[in-house]
Structure 1
C-alpha cells in the first residue's frame, strides 16, 4: 500500500511539474518562433509550434541599429564592473559587521536595516546624484549600487557560521583583518558569492530605469533601454524609408518586438544554468544558518 501511494504521488507530482514547466517555458518559445517568422504571415495568426514562413528579417532590422551595439557595450561593462565592485564592497562591510569586537556594531546594523525599509524618494536621490556629479556619467550605474543591505545580511549570516577558531589561529600567525578576509573568508564563501553575483548581474543587465532618469547621453544608453525604445518605436521602424522594400514586406511591428525581446533575454538564459547550483546552495546556507 505504501509503494502504491508513493507511485501515485510521483505521478501526480511529475504531472504538475510538467504542466508548470510548460506554462513557464511556452511563452518564451512562443516569442522565439514569432521572432523567426515572416511578419505579414505572422499577422494571419495560427502560429503556435513552429515558424510557418521562416525569416531573419526581424533580427536584421534590430541588429542594423547602431544603438544596439552601444547598448550592448554599456550593459556588459556595467554588469561586469557593477557585479564585481558590489560583491567586493558588500562582502567587506559584511565581514566587518560579523566581527563581535567591531565598535558600534549594533547602531551600524540598525542604521543599515532602517535604510532597507525607508528612503528619501526619487527627487532627493536625484539631487544627491547631481551634487556629486554622477548625472550623465557611467558611474551612476556603479556607485549607487556598490552596497546592498539585503546582500549584507546574506553575507553576514554566512560569515558568522565560519568557526571563530580559524580567525583566531590566523591572528596568532600575524595575519591582519584584510588578509584574513581575502585569503580565508572569501575562498570559503564561493556559494554565497556566486548567488549574490547572479542577483547583481541580473539586476545590472535588466536595469533601464536609472539610465532613463539619470542620463540623457545616447552613448550611455544600456541595452535594455535601447530595446524598450525599439519596442515602442517598432511601428515607426517598420515604416522607415531606410529599410529596403523587400525587407519591409517581411516584417511587422509584433515580430520586431519579439526579436528585440529575444535579444535581451538570451544572455541571461545562457548564464543562469551554470550558476543555478550555486544559487540554491548559497541562498540556503547564507540565510537559513543565521
Structure 2
C-alpha cells in the first residue's frame, strides 16, 4: 500500500508538471495567434492575451498581399524538397562506401571527414570558395554546400554496418553492382534512419535564413524565413506595406499585428507536416538506440 501511495503521488506530480510545461509551451503560440487576429489600434491598448478582443483579418490581408511572401514560400519549399532529397541520397551514398571494408584508404577518408567537424576555415574563406565557384546570388548556393554532412554520414554508416554482410555477399554473387545494391537493398532496409535524417534536413532548410542573408542579394531568392526576419526587424512595417491597402483601412492593423500574422503564416506549414514525420523520427531514434 505504501508503494502504491508513493506511485500515485508521483503520478499526480508528474501529470501536473507536464500539464504546466505544455501550457507554458503553447501560450506563446496562442498569444501570437490572438494578436494576429486582433484589430491593430485596439491591440495597442494592450490586454490581448488569449483571444482577439476586436476580430480583424486586416493584418493577414497585408501579409498575403505582399509578393515577397509568395516568393519566400516558393524558395523555401523548393530548397527544402530539393535540398533534403539530394543531401540524404548523397550522404547515404558516401556512408555506404565508407561502411565497406574493401574501400581503399577508408580510414584516411574517415579521419579527414571527422576532422572537419572540429576545424573550419571560417566564414570568409567559405565565402571566397562560394564566390570562386560562382554560387553567390544563385539558387544552387542553397543546395550544393549542403549536399554532404559528416555528422549524418556517421549516422548512416553506423546503420549500414548493422545490415548483415551475408545480404551484400548474396547480392554480389547474383551479379549486382554497388549502385544496385545501394539503391535496391540498403535504401529499402534503411527507411527509418533515412526518414529521420531527412526530417532533420527538411527542418534545417525550412528555418534557414543566414545563408540567404549572406550569399544572396536578389529578393527573388529570398526564402520565407528571411522575409519574416526582415518584416520583424523593419523600423516601420506600415511604411513598407501601406501601398497594399487604402488609407481608411490603416487603423485596422499595426506593426505588431502584421508581424504576428507573418509569424503565423510562416509557421503553419511546418506545424502541419511535423506530426506526420514525428513517427519516423521516433522510429529512427529507437532503431539507432537498439542497434547501438
TM-score w.r.t. structure 2 length?
Answer: 0.95
Q: CA deviation at 1:247?
A: 2.2
CA distance in 1, matches of 2:75, 2:28: 28
Q: What do the CA deviations read for 1:41-77 (whole angstroms, capped 9, x no partner)?
A: 1111111221111111111111111111111111111
Residues 231 and 237 of structure 2 are in contact (CA less than 8 Å); yes or no, is this contact kept in structure 1?
no
Two-structure CA RMSD over aligned residues (Å): 1.5
Match of 1:179 in 2: 180
Shift of the 136–176 alpha-carbon distance from structure 1 to 2, 3 Å rule, reads: same
Q: CA deviation at 1:17?
A: 1.0
Match of 2:269 in 1: 267
Match of 1:31 in 2: 32
Deviates more, 1:8-17 or 1:136-145: 8-17
Deviates more, 1:11-20 or 1:75-84: 11-20
Match of 2:253 in 1: 251
CA distance in 1, matches of 2:289, 2:118: 19
Structure 1 unmatched runs, 5+: none
Q: CA deviation at 1:133?
A: 0.6
Residues 95 and 159 of structure 1 are in contact (CA less than 8 Å); yes or no, is this contact kept in structure 2?
yes
Match of 2:75 in 1: 74
Residues 154 and 283 of structure 1 are in contact (CA less than 8 Å); yes or no, is this contact kept in structure 2?
no
CA distance in 2, matches of 1:239, 1:270: 30
Shift of the 154–288 alpha-carbon distance from structure 1 to 2, 3 Å rule, reads: farther
Residues 62 and 241 of structure 2 are in contact (CA less than 8 Å); yes or no, is this contact kept in structure 1?
no
Match of 2:280 in 1: 278
Residues 238 and 248 of structure 1 are in contact (CA less than 8 Å); yes or no, is this contact kept in structure 2?
no
Residues 238 and 253 of structure 1 are in contact (CA less than 8 Å); yes or no, is this contact kept in structure 2?
no
Q: What do the CA deviations read for 1:197-255 (whole angstroms, capped 9, x no partner)?
A: 11111111111111111111121111111111112226242575523123210111111
Shift of the 284–117 alpha-carbon distance from structure 1 to 2, 3 Å rule, reads: farther
Residues 234 and 257 of structure 1 are in contact (CA less than 8 Å); yes or no, is this contact kept in structure 2?
no
Match of 1:57 in 2: 58
Match of 1:18 in 2: 19
Shift of the 220–86 alpha-carbon distance from structure 1 to 2, 3 Å rule, reads: same
CA distance in 1, matches of 2:105, 2:172: 22
Q: How does 1:150-161 map to 2 (within 5 A)?
A: 150-161=151-162
Q: How does 1:137-216 map to 2 (within 5 A)?
A: 137-216=138-217
- Give the secondary structure class of the aligned counterpart of 1:183: helix
Structure 2 unmatched runs, 5+: none
Structure 1 outlier segments of 4+, above 3 Å: 238-241
Match of 1:88 in 2: 89
Shift of the 287–116 alpha-carbon distance from structure 1 to 2, 3 Å rule, reads: farther
Match of 1:110 in 2: 111
Q: What do the CA deviations read for 1:97-151 (whole angstroms, capped 9, x no partner)?
A: 1111211111111111111121111110010001011011110000000001111
